[in-house]
Copies of this chain bind each other. A is one copy, B any other.
Amino acid sequence: MQEKTVYNFNAGPATLPKAVMLKAQEEFVNYRGCGYGIVEESHRAAPFEEIIQAAEANIRKLMGISADYDVLFLQGGASLQFAMVPMNLMVPGKKIAFCDTGEWAHKAMKEAKILGAGINLVYDGAKEKYSCIGDVSSWQFDQNDAYAHICSNNTIYGTAYNQYPDTGALPLIADMSSDIMSKVVDVNRFALIFAGAQKNMGPSGVTLVIMRKGLAERCPETVPTMLRFSTHIKAQSLYNTPSTFSIYMVRLVTDWMLEQGGVPAIQKLNETKAAKLYAAIDESGFFRGTCAKADRSKMNVCFRIGEGNEELEKKFVSESKAAGMIGLKGHRAVGGLRASIYNAMPMAGIDALVAFMKAFAAKNG
């Protein structure tokens, strides 16, 4: 097949670093000379053990995770964490604090309700159609709750926490699926962080969990073995067969992140990428950002044409695709346009999109 340059702005699974893709391809059928592919290797064999340990070491280094935390590779995505977290950490008679900033925080809250937990709704973003997060320092947390849950970046609505709420001694749980390792975060502020890999870290199939030691002991006896964090802590993520190829890819992506200069360097690049794109929106007089400027995500840039010109938006999606930029359609829940620009999206992709936007506005404005 002839090579062509395509920029993939999908919200996830998403674009991966080209160097990683080429390396994985090169050793796909013969991993480091062993004569067969890593996808065929036993999860109990030395080559895979080296991979999962290296992936964990990379993540610890990239995020500055101390020995006070366990790092786990699980399955089922963030959606399974929406259930696993309350199954393991809810406390009879105590409520769970939720900050509802969008669909994923809302879904997590729904699962806690299904499991019978009482909810303390600390922030209800639905009132503003999830277009902002606002001043988190004004949020009130009840120290008697079991824990507090936030979603750090809202892929669908394009908002993100630019600072995290102070929950005091209340354990703070964050779903960082869509911005993990995109910016420097003080892990010590969190009791538990979880993230599906398929945006900033690798392909789908693996979910990262970073969990403060001791917390898993809360889990009641009635929770099935596979759904207990303690099972995976004890077995170092090898209680049963994990999605081995996904973990292999996470190792390669995190190797690449370290080569790029780690999270501070990546954050700087991400800020420049997002600033360029938002400037193109704000300066156009044609496109319009959909959320409060202070709460704009640097991962998912959501915008519309005018007040929501669906016909032109459809044309934008189809013409951008023809120009080699895919995945620019907004989520079906909100419509409009969205460019997901995770760590692996190169500056050249942003430049191509900005140029396309300018030309499109000039032609259709």
A77-B241, A226-B80 known; A34-B6 Cβ under 8 A: yes
A166 to chain B, nearest CB (A): 30
Contact call B10/A41, Cβ cutoff below 8 A: yes
Contact A203 B244 (CB under 8 A): yes
Contact stretch, chosen from A25-33, A156-164, A179-187: A25-33
Interface residues of A in 211-250 (CB under 8 A from B): 221-227, 239-246, 249
Nearest neighbor of A332 in chain B, beta-carbon distance: B44
* Residues in B neighbouring A364, C-beta threshold 8 A: none
Is the pair B8, A83 in contact by a Cβ cutoff of 8 Å? Answer: no
Please state if A37 and B10 are interface contacts (CB–CB under 8 Å).
no
Measured in the bound complex, the distance between the Cα atoms of B33 and A1 in whole Å is: 6
Q: A205–B21 contact, CB under 8 A?
A: no
Among A136-159, those with CB < 8 Å from B are: none
Decide yes or no: A42 and B13 within 8 Å by CB, A1-B30, A222-B114, A225-B111 being known contacts. Answer: yes
Cβ < 8 Å to B, chain A residues 108-157 = 110-111, 114-116
Cα–Cα, bound, A4→B327 (Å): 41
Give the residue of B34, B198, B205, B244 whose beta carbon is less than 8 angstroms from that of A13: B244
- In terms of DSSP, what is the predominant structure of the interface of chain A? loop
Which residue of B has the minimal Cβ distance to A48? B13
Cross-interface CB contact of A30 among B3, B43, B239, B326, cutoff 8 Å: B3
Which of these, B14, B42, B243, contacts A205 with CB under 8 Å? B243
Which one, B4, B13, B22, B75, contacts A80 given CB within 8 A?
A: B75
Question: Nearest B residue to A231 by beta-carbon distance?
Answer: B79
Residue A102 lies at the interface, judged by CB distance under 8 Å to chain B: no
Do A15 and B36 touch across chains, with their CB atoms under 8 A apart?
yes
B40:A225 contact, CB within 8 angstroms: no
The CA of A20 and the CA of B77, in the complex, are separated in Å by 27
Beyond A205-B245, A240-B79, is A8–B36 a contact (Cβ under 8 Å)? yes
Q: Is the CB of B13 within 8 A of A39?
A: yes
CB within 8 Å of B: which A8-66 residues: 8, 10-16, 18, 21-22, 24-25, 27-30, 32-37, 39-43, 45
Q: How far is the CA of A78 from the CA of B55 in the complex (A)?
A: 24
| Residues B2 and A33 in contact, CB atoms below 8 Å apart | yes
Query: A327: nearest residue on chain B (CB-CB)?
Result: B42
Which partner residue on chain B sits nearest A18 by CB separation? B29
Q: Could you tell me the distance in whole angstroms from the C-beta of A197 to the nearest C-beta in chain B? A: 10
Q: A365: CB under 8 A from chain B?
A: no
List B contacts of A221 (CB < 8 A): 114
Chain B residues within an 8 Å CB radius of A2: 33
A76 within 8 A of B: yes
The answer to whether A225 and B75 have CB atoms under 8 Å apart is no
Instruction: Determine whether the beta carbon of A244 is less than 8 Å from that of B28.
Output: no
Q: Are A224 and B111 in contact (CB under 8 A)?
A: yes
Give the Cβ gap from A222 to chain B, nearest Cβ, in Å. Answer: 7
Beyond contacts A76-B80, A77-B241, A79-B226: 5 other A-B pairs, Cβ-Cβ < 8 A, are A1-B33, A6-B34, A10-B41, A12-B241, A39-B249
Residues of A near any B CB (own CB < 8 A) = 1-6, 8, 10-16, 18, 21-22, 24-25, 27-30, 32-37, 39-43, 45, 75-80, 82-83, 87, 107, 110-111, 114-116, 196, 198, 203-205, 221-227, 239-246, 249, 324, 326-327
6 A-B pairs closest in CB distance? A6-B35, A205-B243, A83-B224, A79-B240, A25-B28, A10-B42
